[in-house]
């Protein structure tokens, strides 16, 4: 009966949409954590930019109840978000939180470290993600304070307590948990959490599907595609919890991550071959992806950045 309930819940999801300000008004979390497969939960964030209404919860905050303790994936965007997630964990299990992983150096992955560090819980990240947070942490914190106002109270910069370069493996209870740096992807230090016994990957920003992926100044799309083809696909995951949006499968994230990058690079190449310049590149046709959340915010920026990259490839 329990598995049927989960299946029904997954069959009729409430989408994490740009148009829904808050799905869980009783909490600062955007949505209540849901058990996706036994022992693996995720509080799905809004597929929108961070706002006061969503409290900066615009990424997925996941946790694994192992039988010998809880492992959290993502610190959260603020002290109050991490605290709210912990309250949800405590309502589900009396197992203590043993470890927190930061999926990269962005604010919604690391600013909530303030709460977890106050509890003395080890916080693990890739060395590049930690370096990114060390360099840009003060401005990331100030940006969060501007949109989160009183909800920023208590948040301070707390770096990961331990870093790794390739892989960090934890065995707790029923789970082997492999934090993997698969290679360059969306942002420096992106990691994915692979559960081989469950064939589930908490992909982080390696994979997108309900919202358009953003291409940053330091997002090199050719490298991301190489990482995807050579490493991420090799996991052959049955279940995927992406960095943003609801749990899904490889077909969906492939369609809206790998295939989108190939599509956009192809359109930019056509534009360059025709002698087009940067000013026109912003407006190459991306209509097949116009239904994705954050399309209006990101499509033209993505095109411009890919043009700038491909000029020098």
Domains of the chain, by residue range, sit at: 34-217+230-249
Residue 18's pLDDT is what? 64
Closest CA to 289 of 281, 298, 280: 298
CB 185 within 8 A of CB 100: no
Residue 1's pLDDT is what? 37
Q: CA torsion 125→130→136→140, rounded to 10°?
A: 20
Residue 7's pLDDT is what? 38
Helices 295-310 and 259-273 pack at an angle, to 10 degrees, of 60
Sign, Cα dihedral of 146, 147, 152, 158: negative
* Per-position pLDDT tens, the chain of length 313: 333 333 333 433 445 566 777 889 899 999 999 999 999 999 999 999 999 999 999 999 999 999 999 999 999 999 999 999 999 999 999 999 999 999 999 999 999 999 999 999 999 999 999 999 999 999 999 999 999 999 999 999 999 999 999 999 999 998 999 999 999 999 999 999 999 999 999 999 999 999 999 999 999 999 999 999 999 999 999 999 999 999 999 999 999 999 999 999 999 999 999 999 999 999 999 999 999 999 999 999 999 999 999 999 8
Closest CA to 137 of 111, 163, 104: 111
Residue 16's pLDDT is what? 59
CATH class belonging to 34-217+230-249: alpha beta
Closest CA to 42 of 244, 227, 181, 212: 244
Residue 23's pLDDT is what? 84
Q: Which residues does residue 146 pair with via DSSP β-bridges, in sequence order? A: none
Within the chain, residue ranges assigned H as helices are 2-11, 79-92, 107-110, 113-118, 127-148, 221-227, 250-253, 259-273, 278-281, 295-310
- Phi/psi region, residue 67 (left: phi>0; alpha: psi -120 to 50; beta: rest), is left
Residue 21's pLDDT is what? 77
The string of pLDDT tens digits covering residues 1-12 is 333 333 333 433
Residue 20's pLDDT is what? 78
Phi, psi of 213 (to 5 degrees): -70, 145
CB 201 within 8 A of CB 234: no
Helix (H/G/I), strand (E/B), else coil: 198: coil
Token pair of 96, please? 């203590």
The string of pLDDT tens digits covering residues 210-262 is 999 999 999 999 999 999 999 999 999 999 999 999 999 999 999 999 999 99
């Amino acid at each position: 009966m329990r598995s049927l309930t989960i299946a029904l819940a997954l069959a009729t999801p409430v989408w994490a949409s740009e148009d829904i300000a808050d799905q869980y008004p009783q909490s600062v979390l955007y949505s209540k954590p849901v058990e996706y497969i036994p022992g693996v939960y995720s509080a799905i964030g809004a597929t929108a930019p961070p706002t006061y209404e969503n409290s900066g919860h615009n990424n997925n905050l996941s946790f694994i109840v192992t039988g010998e303790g809880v492992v959290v994936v993502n610190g959260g965007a603020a002290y109050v978000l991490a605290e709210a997630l912990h309250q949800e964990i405590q309502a589900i299990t009396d197992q203590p939180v043993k470890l927190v992983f930061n999926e990269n150096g962005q604010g919604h992955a690391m600013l909530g470290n303030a709460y977890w560090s106050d509890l003395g819980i080890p916080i693990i990240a890739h060395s590049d993600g930690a370096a990114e947070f060390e360099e840009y942490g003060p401005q990331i914190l100030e940006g969060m304070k501007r949109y989160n106002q009183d909800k920023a109270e208590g948040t301070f910069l707390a770096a990961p307590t331990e870093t790794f370069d390739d892989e960090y493996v934890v065995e707790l209870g029923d789970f082997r948990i492999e934090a993997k740096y698969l290679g360059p992807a969306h942002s420096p230090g992106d990691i994915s959490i692979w559960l081989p016994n469950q064939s589930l990957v908490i992909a982080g920003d390696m994979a997108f599907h309900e919202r358009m992926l953003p291409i940053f100044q330091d997002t090199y799309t050719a490298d991301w595609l190489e990482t995807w083809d050579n490493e991420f696909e090799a996991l052959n995951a049955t279940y995927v919890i992406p960095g943003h949006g609801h749990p899904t499968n490889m077909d969906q994230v492939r369609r809206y991550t790998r295939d989108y990058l190939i599509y956009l690079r192809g359109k930019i190449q056509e534009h360059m071959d025709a002698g087009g310049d940067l000013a026109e590149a912003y407006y190459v046709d991306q209509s097949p992806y116009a239904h994705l959340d954050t399309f209006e915010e990101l499509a033209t920026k993505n095109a411009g950045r890919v043009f700038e990259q491909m000029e020098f490839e």
